[in-house]
């Protein structure tokens, strides 16, 4: 049997990050080598504590968690308690974790693990990209050491959710996002174009509650806050997008995109209304995305829109993860 690939998850643990982590822990073909946190949905320290809470719920206290960037390269990051709750996890008030974050800074941990596992490490970034950009500054050869990078972020043909033009993860640190997208490593970008079409519903929530395990009761509970936000501000009804879990599923090969061209992609770092916008050259969509000069990012534009069923099946049907030796 081939060894599992090692995945580092870089996140800002709010509701959808927690769903992504539990999805991966429920039976993906990769081993989570570490989780690093960044300020975004909540501040980096709270994100780390939330991650430890989720890992304890899944009985995986062996996975190291490292705190990363507390601000972006231009100042403070606007947090999102209106989306994720005051605790970042839907106001579920999980007990404080019994373990503590690693003292090693996130960017240094990413570099160390990449050097230890050259060519075998994958990165899944589901928050702002400050930690990855910092790691690139620490180790300019990082693109040669990492097998692949999957990013939840951006909006290409879809409106933004932070501004009319920009998606939140990219908008929260456009300078870092530009560095990461231009680094020369293989990148898959999972933007709002894909994630806003993959919707959790109250039927999914009921299935989670009926399953009755600690993890499904938790995930059912955190969806209350998420549905409140989406009903109030986005859809006018109780359903919610699968942003981070979809990116996780694509990262490990569980979801094959319907449309994912490799195109030239950049980020607007100016001070105007387009700041943080993902600028991807999709002009070839009318003739089948022929090969283009400067194409550097695989951009997921369409999926089958069946992932929420897979997510809930995984959370409800997989056996509870067992703790492995540290």
CB 155 within 8 A of CB 191: yes
The number of angstroms, rounded, from the C-alpha of 321 to the middle of its chain's C-alpha atoms is: 21
Q: How many CB atoms lie within 10 A of CB 40?
A: 30
The secondary structure element, H or E, covering residue 317 is helix 307-317
The DSSP 8-state label assigned to residue 5 in this structure reads E
The DSSP 8-state label assigned to residue 285 in this structure reads G
Q: How many helices (H) and strands (E) does the chain have?
A: 13, 12
**Strands 187-190 and 297-299: what pairing?**
parallel
What whole-number distance in Å separates Cα of residue 228 and Cα of residue 234?
10
The DSSP 8-state label assigned to residue 214 in this structure reads H
Report, as residue numbers or ranges, the catalytic residues.
Answer: 243
**First CA to last CA across the chain, in angstroms?**
21
């Amino acid at each position: 049997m081939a060894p599992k690939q090692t995945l580092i998850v870089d996140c800002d643990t709010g509701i959808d990050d927690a769903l992504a982590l539990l999805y991966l822990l429920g039976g993906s073909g990769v081993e989570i080598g570490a989780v690093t946190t960044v300020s975004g949905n909540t501040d980096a320290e709270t994100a780390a504590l939330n991650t430890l809470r989720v890992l304890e719920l899944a009985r995986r206290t062996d996975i190291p968690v490292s705190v990363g960037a507390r601000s972006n390269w231009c100042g403070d990051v606007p947090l999102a308690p209106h989306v994720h709750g005051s605790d970042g996890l839907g106001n579920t008030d999980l007990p404080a974790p019994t373990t503590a974050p690693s003292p090693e800074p996130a960017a240094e941990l990413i570099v160390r693990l990449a050097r230890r596992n050259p060519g075998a490490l994958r990165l899944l970034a589901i928050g702002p990209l400050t930690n990855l950009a910092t790691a690139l500054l620490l180790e300019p050869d990082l693109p040669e050491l990492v097998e692949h990078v999957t990013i939840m972020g951006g909006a290409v043909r879809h409106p933004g959710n932070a501004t009319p033009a920009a998606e939140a993860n990219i908008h929260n640190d456009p300078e870092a996002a530009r560095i990461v997208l231009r680094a020369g490593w293989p990148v898959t970008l999972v933007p709002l174009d894909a994630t806003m079409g993959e919707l959790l519903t109250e039927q999914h929530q009921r299935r989670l509650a009926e399953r009755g395990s600690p993890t499904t009761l938790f995930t059912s509970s955190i969806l209350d806050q998420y549905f409140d936000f989406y009903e109030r501000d986005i859809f006018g009804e109780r359903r919610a997008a699968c942003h981070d879990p979809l990116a996780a599923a694509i990262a490990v090969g569980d979801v094959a995109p319907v449309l994912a061209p490799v195109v030239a992609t950049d980020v607007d770092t100016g001070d105007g209304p387009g700041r943080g916008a993902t600028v991807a050259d999709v002009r070839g969509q009318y003739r089948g995305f022929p090969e283009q000069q400067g194409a550097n990012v695989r951009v997921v534009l369409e999926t089958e829109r069946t992932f929420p069923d897979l997510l809930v099946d995984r959370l409800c049907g997989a056996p509870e993860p067992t703790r492995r030796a540290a």
